[in-house]
Chains A and B, each alone.
Chain A
Amino acid sequence: MKSQPGLSVVYDSTRRGSVVLEELREIFNYRYLILQLVRRDILTRYKRSFLGVAWTMLNPLGMMLVWTIAFSQFFRSDNLPSYPSFVLNGLLAWTFFSQTTTAAMVNLVWGGGLLNRIYIPRVSFAIAAMGTGLVNIGLSMVPLIGVMLVTGLSLHWSLFFVPISILILAAFALGVGLLISTLAVYFPDVAEMYQIVLTAWMFLTPVMYPETILPDAYRLYITMLNPMYHMVKLFRIPIYYGRLPTLIELLVPLIISLFVLTIGWWVFTKKSDEFAYRI
Chain B
Amino acid sequence: MTDDSIALSGNQSIIQLENVSVKYRVPQEQIGTFKEYFIRVLERKVKHRSFNALNQVSLKINRGEVFGLIGHNGAGKSTLLKLVARVIRPTIGRVIVKGHVAPLLEVGAGFHPELTGRENIYLNGAMLGFSREEMQEKFPRIVEFSELGDFIDAPLRTYSTGMSARLGFAVATDSQPDILIVDEILSVGDEAFQHKSYERIQAIKAQGATILLVSHSMNMIESICQRAAWLHRGQILSMDNAKVVVDRYLGRVSDEENRQLIEESHRGDYQINKEYKPIEIRQVRILNNQSQEQQIFHTGEGMLVQIEYVAHEAIDSLEVGIAIHRQDGVHISGPNTAFDGLDIKMQPGVGGVNYIIPSIPLMEGLYQITVALVNREGNKMLDYHDHFYTFRVNNRGHNVNECYGLMTLNGEWQLL
- Give A44 to B176 CA distance when docked, in angstroms: 31
Let me know if B356 is at the binding interface, CB within 8 A: no
Contact of A32 among B37, B101, B132 (CB under 8 A): B132
The residues of B that contact A113 with a CB separation of less than 8 Å are 109
The residues of A that contact B115 with a CB separation of less than 8 Å are 40, 43-44, 47
CB distance from A118 to the nearest CB of B (A): 5
The residues of B that contact A29 with a CB separation of less than 8 Å are 129
- Give A5 to B177 CA distance when docked, in angstroms: 8
**What 0/1 readout, one digit per residue, does chain A (109-122) give for beta carbons within 8 Å of chain B?**
00001111111100
The residues of B that contact A6 with a CB separation of less than 8 Å are 7, 99, 178
- Give A130 to B90 CA distance when docked, in angstroms: 31
B97 and chain A: residue at smallest CB distance:
A11
Let me know if A135 is at the binding interface, CB within 8 A: no
Known contacts A40-B119, A118-B87; A10 and B100 CB within 8 A of each other: no
The residues of B that contact A39 with a CB separation of less than 8 Å are 119, 123
Known contacts A2-B100, A32-B126, A189-B32; A13 and B89 CB within 8 A of each other: yes
Residue contact B87 to A1, C-beta cutoff 8 Å: no
Residue contact A12 to B94, C-beta cutoff 8 Å: yes
Let me know if A35 is at the binding interface, CB within 8 A: yes
A4 and chain B: residue at smallest CB distance:
B100
Residue contact A33 to B127, C-beta cutoff 8 Å: yes
CB distance from A209 to the nearest CB of B (A): 31
The residues of A that contact B132 with a CB separation of less than 8 Å are 32, 35
Q: Quick one: which of B25, B93, B96, B99 has the most chain A CB within 10 A? A: B99
Residue contact A44 to B112, C-beta cutoff 8 Å: yes
Q: List B residues 31-54 near A (Cβ within 8 Å).
A: 32-34, 37
B132 and chain A: residue at smallest CB distance:
A32
Residue contact B106 to A32, C-beta cutoff 8 Å: no
Let me know if A218 is at the binding interface, CB within 8 A: no
- Give A36 to B115 CA distance when docked, in angstroms: 12
CB distance from A254 to the nearest CB of B (A): 31
Q: List B residues 3-55 near A (Cβ within 8 Å).
A: 3-4, 6-8, 14, 24-25, 32-34, 37
- Give A11 to B127 CA distance when docked, in angstroms: 18
CB distance from A74 to the nearest CB of B (A): 36
CB distance from B319 to the nearest CB of A (A): 54
Q: List A residues 1-34 near B (Cβ within 8 Å).
A: 1-14, 29-30, 32-33
Let me know if A66 is at the binding interface, CB within 8 A: no
Contact of A118 among B7, B85, B99, B177 (CB under 8 A): B85
- Give A8 to B100 CA distance when docked, in angstroms: 8
Residue contact B126 to A30, C-beta cutoff 8 Å: yes
Residue contact B95 to A118, C-beta cutoff 8 Å: no
Known contacts A13-B95, A33-B127; A118 and B88 CB within 8 A of each other: no
Residue contact A35 to B126, C-beta cutoff 8 Å: yes
Let me know if A203 is at the binding interface, CB within 8 A: no
The residues of B that contact A13 with a CB separation of less than 8 Å are 83, 86, 89-90, 93-96
The residues of A that contact B14 with a CB separation of less than 8 Å are 7
- Give A44 to B123 CA distance when docked, in angstroms: 13
Q: List A residues 143-183 near B (Cβ within 8 Å).
A: none
Contact of B97 among A5, A10, A118 (CB under 8 A): A10
A-B residue pair count with CB separations less than 8 angstroms: 137
Residue contact A11 to B110, C-beta cutoff 8 Å: no
CB distance from A109 to the nearest CB of B (A): 14
Residue contact A117 to B33, C-beta cutoff 8 Å: no
CB distance from A186 to the nearest CB of B (A): 8
Residue contact A10 to B6, C-beta cutoff 8 Å: yes
- Give A9 to B8 CA distance when docked, in angstroms: 11
Q: Is the interface on chain A under 10, 10 to 19, 20 to 34, or 35 or more residues? A: 35 or more
**What 0/1 readout, one digit per residue, does chain B (90-134) give for beta carbons within 8 Å of chain A?**
100111111111010110011010110001001100111111101
Residue contact A118 to B126, C-beta cutoff 8 Å: no
Let me know if A221 is at the binding interface, CB within 8 A: no
Q: Quick one: which of B7, B87, B115 has the most chain A CB within 10 A? A: B87
Q: List A residues 63-114 near B (Cβ within 8 Å).
A: 113-114
**What 0/1 readout, one digit per residue, does chain B (59-94) give for beta carbons within 8 Å of chain A?**
000000000000000000000001101111110011
Residue contact B129 to A30, C-beta cutoff 8 Å: yes
Residue contact A116 to B89, C-beta cutoff 8 Å: no
Let me know if A214 is at the binding interface, CB within 8 A: no
Known contacts A3-B130, A11-B97, A114-B127; A119 and B86 CB within 8 A of each other: yes
CB distance from B12 to the nearest CB of A (A): 11
Residue contact B33 to A189, C-beta cutoff 8 Å: yes
Let me know if A187 is at the binding interface, CB within 8 A: yes
Q: Quick one: which of B14, B129, B132 has the most chain A CB within 10 A? A: B129
Let me know if A277 is at the binding interface, CB within 8 A: yes
Let me know if A255 is at the binding interface, CB within 8 A: no
Let me know if B175 is at the binding interface, CB within 8 A: yes
- Give A10 to B98 CA distance when docked, in angstroms: 4
Residue contact B131 to A187, C-beta cutoff 8 Å: no
Q: List A residues 39-53 near B (Cβ within 8 Å).
A: 39-40, 43-44, 47-48
Residue contact A3 to B129, C-beta cutoff 8 Å: yes
CB within 8 Å of A: which residues of B? 3-4, 6-8, 14, 24-25, 32-34, 37, 82-83, 85-90, 93-101, 103, 105-106, 109-110, 112, 114-115, 119, 122-123, 126-132, 134-135, 155, 175-178
CB within 8 Å of B: which residues of A? 1-14, 29-30, 32-33, 35-37, 39-40, 43-44, 47-48, 113-120, 187-189, 273, 276-277
A-B interface, 4 closest residue pairs, ranked by CB to CB distance from nearest: A36-B126, A33-B126, A1-B129, A7-B7
11 A-B pairs with CB atoms under 8 Å apart are A3-B130, A4-B100, A29-B129, A30-B126, A43-B119, A44-B114, A44-B115, A47-B115, A117-B103, A276-B82, A276-B87
Beyond the given pairs A9-B178, A117-B103, 9 more chain A to chain B contacts, judged by CB atoms under 8 angstroms and listed by A's residue number, are: A1-B101, A7-B14, A9-B3, A9-B98, A13-B90, A14-B94, A120-B127, A120-B129, A189-B32
